[in-house]
Structure 1
């Protein structure tokens, strides 16, 4: 109860840190809270991401890291860094507000499946963003459907709270705070002992570009499954059997998921193959 009270969202209408008027609460993650605000100094609408009070220092560490990373990035499909505010134990990252629908909500709200081509176009847009991100030396490490926003036909990749530099080993306090296993103490793909880390999550958290491509493969399958309805009484089958995708698409996704050798070496290489594949499917 104390933790829930500490993390209770800020009220609409209050001016936080003497400058940011809270317009509406957008949501709460494991370590932060997001709000649409009006910057009373400039009059612009911004996104304010606040450290979650109950997470104490780990929440502040993650927010500072995210701020440093976003400050280095300049891409039209990545939210722009605006500033960082500190007052006492409260800290906030100020960034561009991407007004749109996250892909998961959009799929559920529309109640319809995207076509194969629409799903491939989303993958293509994300590969362009990931190519830039990896070229800048960073890995997102959380390419999942809730972190993809659709706005006016454009696809944005948001939430860089778990991002890191390529090859970076997280500082021990941060790794322990995130409950991430020591990469030097566990075999690749193995379960993480007594914790809840699955092979899936372990692959998603590697500080390598391939982790983002692996996440993209699962994201693509999520989109395709949004329109899948199994026949009554039908036994569960593999995604390759249930989705009935064209064979070139199956091979493409298998390489994203590291089920087919060789895996993709880079987002740019993957994008080139996707362009060729989509031309063949026309």
Structure 2
């Protein structure tokens, strides 16, 4: 069944040709990314003469109401954002039952490419500083009841050593409810769900930090060891990582993480 689906996608999910004009405004320049349910294009806005990013829901997904709803949900989340380190949504449109939205182009370098292809390294202090900036972005989202749920190095762009967050395809937005209209059990379940979504974002931040820290690691032993043994870190950084990765008691708030993060940064400043 899975192989049949992939064959179907291969023939149906053909990227739009270069030079095609979408919505009588956006000229396709080239494909800049493909995901599990979207195709991303670099386009020229023929009205503003500026480059934009246009994301298309894969044609193979357009007949699936669940997939269309997820795409519309992503558009809705982007519409609520107003942060200089996140995309700006300009509009959404459909064309012959295909679905698109248009957002700003962020001129940054993908963190995954920087690490694996450009071999960029980050020492412990630099890694913690990037985490601190990422924590501010996550805090902004959580205060708007938005949970990214896909914080990974491919979804982070670096521009002038500053992280920009992209790809909100798996993000979820929690809607506030009236406590007088719902039984306590429902409210408890809702609070539990929110905590789980928060902690998923926290866990992902821990994995990002681990990726950054490993950029300066040189393999000494053929046998793979736990990161606690392979990496030489300040005890404050180890404590922070263990809680982010839920090895020890998971964090429940941004402020808890911030406190331990600043303690780790302070420990590194003493070393320097």
Is the counterpart of residue 281 in structure 1 residue 265 in structure 2? no
Q: Which residue of 2 aligns with 1:77?
A: 85
Q: Which residue of 1 aligns with 2:15?
A: 9
Q: Is the 8 A contact 1:100 1:150 kept in 2?
A: yes
Is the counterpart of residue 143 in structure 1 residue 151 in structure 2? yes
Correspondence list, 1:110-189, <5 A: 110-166=118-174
In structure 2, how many angstroms separate the alpha carbons of the residues matched to 1:165 and 1:247?
35
Shift of 1:79: 0.8
Alignment match of 2:248 (pick from 238, 254, 260): 260
Shift of 1:223: 1.8
Is the counterpart of residue 91 in structure 1 residue 99 in structure 2? yes
| Bigger radius of gyration among the two | 2
Correspondence list, 1:234-273, <5 A: 234-261=222-249, 263-273=250-260
Q: Is the 8 A contact 1:80 1:95 kept in 2?
A: yes
Q: TM-score, normalized by length of structure 2? A: 0.84
Q: Is the 8 A contact 2:27 2:46 kept in 1?
A: yes
* Farther-moved stretch of structure 1 (97-106 vs 40-49): 40-49
- Count, aligned residues: 247
Shift in alpha-carbon separation, 1:81–1:256, aligned structure 2, 3 A = same
| CA deviation profile, 1:182-215 (whole Å, cap 9, x unmatched) | xx9xxx9xxxxxxxxxxxxxx9x98521110101
Is the counterpart of residue 34 in structure 1 residue 34 in structure 2? no
Q: CA RMSD in A?
A: 2.2
Q: Which residue of 2 aligns with 1:208?
A: 197
Provide structure 1 residue ranges, at least 5 long, that are not aligned to the other structure.
Answer: 169-183, 189-202
Shift of 1:42: 2.4
Provide structure 2 residue ranges, at least 5 long, that are not aligned to the other structure.
Answer: 1-6, 177-188
Q: Match of 1:110, SS?
A: coil
Shift of 1:80: 1.1
Shift of 1:54: 1.3
Q: Which residue of 2 aligns with 1:20?
A: 26
Q: Which residue of 2 aligns with 1:109?
A: 117
Shift in alpha-carbon separation, 1:207–1:248, aligned structure 2, 3 A = closer
In structure 2, how many angstroms separate the alpha carbons of the residues matched to 1:250 and 1:280?
12
* Structure whose residues are more often helix by fraction: 2
Q: TM-score, normalized by length of structure 1? A: 0.81
Correspondence list, 1:53-68, <5 A: 53-56=59-62, 57=64, 58-68=66-76
Q: Which residue of 2 aligns with 1:195?
A: none
In structure 1, how many angstroms separate the alpha carbons of the residues matched to 2:256 and 2:199?
12
- Stretches of 4+ moved more than 4 A in 1? none
Q: Is the 8 A contact 2:158 2:164 kept in 1?
A: yes
